[in-house]
Amino acid sequence: MRFLDDYLDAHQSPQLSNAPEGAIAHPNRAALETHLARRRYGRFMLTEAVRPSWQLEVIPQAGYRHDTYVDPRSGSCLPALIASVSSEKLFETFLCLLEPLGTSCDIVLETSHERKTLPRKDFTRDGIERLVLESILWDFEDLLLNDGCTGIAVMHSELQMEVQLDEHKLLIVYAPSRAPFERILQEQGVDRHDRMRFISQGEHLHTSHTKYARRFAELTGRFGAC
């Protein structure tokens, strides 16, 4: 596993604000390795994809809160939900959140594997049956959960509805009505915390591996995404 600990992810999601920027201060090597090996915080379990900085500005926890996406060009607003889910339930919860999107979806696959030399690249595929989509996603569960350079967005083919599993392994929903998605989160045991902060809002480290870059290429091939 290579740790991408030479930069702080300054490219925060548009709906998350006030994330601190700057270089990551490191403890000694032994203390850092111990911190990076830690996955459990109370009852919350991280995936391998991301770690909070050793200063623990944000302590990982499960929960969700309401938010709003504001289009920078039109000024129009779209309700949003942001959720952090423990790793043992994250993939199942993500798939459940896709159900309100209907029988056919569009997808965007996001990668920052070559971030040091190239901007983040997106791959798109329109009009895929949701059941086919879910079948493929199951084959790439490890990549989607444990690679800190891979994200996916699934959208309704016609309506303004979108579900993301981003590089921080946060679940982000945009939809005119939050209600069906909120019910799913509650059924999955994810509680609402209106003042909740997320791992992306503090200094943090993304992790990846060369095998995940290869797996991402396989995933885009399976989807026929370009």
Give tens-digit pLDDT for 73-108.
888 999 999 999 999 999 999 999 999 999 999 999
Given 3-state DSSP classes, what are the helix, strand and coil percentages for the chain, each rounded to the nearest 5? 30, 30, 40
What is the rounded average pLDDT of the residues 13-28? 44
How far is residue 150's CA from residue 106's CA, in Å, rounded to a whole number?
Answer: 17
Residue 100 is given by DSSP the state G
Q: Specify the higher pLDDT residue, 5 or 118.
A: 118
pLDDT score at 116: 52
The tokens for 13 are: 């999601």
Indicate the pairing of strand 150-156 with strand 162-165. antiparallel
Residue 71: how many other CB atoms lie within 10 Å: 10
Banded pLDDT at 57 (limits 50, 70, 90)? confident
Please report where in the chains the tokens 């993939």 appear, as a residue: 91
How far is residue 144's CA from residue 167's CA, in Å, rounded to a whole number?
Answer: 9
How far is residue 12's CA from residue 14's CA, in Å, rounded to a whole number?
Answer: 6
CB within 8 Å of 179: residues ≥ 6 apart = none
pLDDT score at 169: 98
Domain assignment of residue 154, given as a range: 2-223
How far is residue 140's CA from residue 134's CA, in Å, rounded to a whole number?
Answer: 10
Complete DSSP assignment for 182-195: HHHHHHTTPPB-TT
Indicate the pairing of strand 121-129 with strand 104-111. antiparallel
User: Into how many domains does the chain fold?
Assistant: 1
The tokens for 64 are: 């969700």
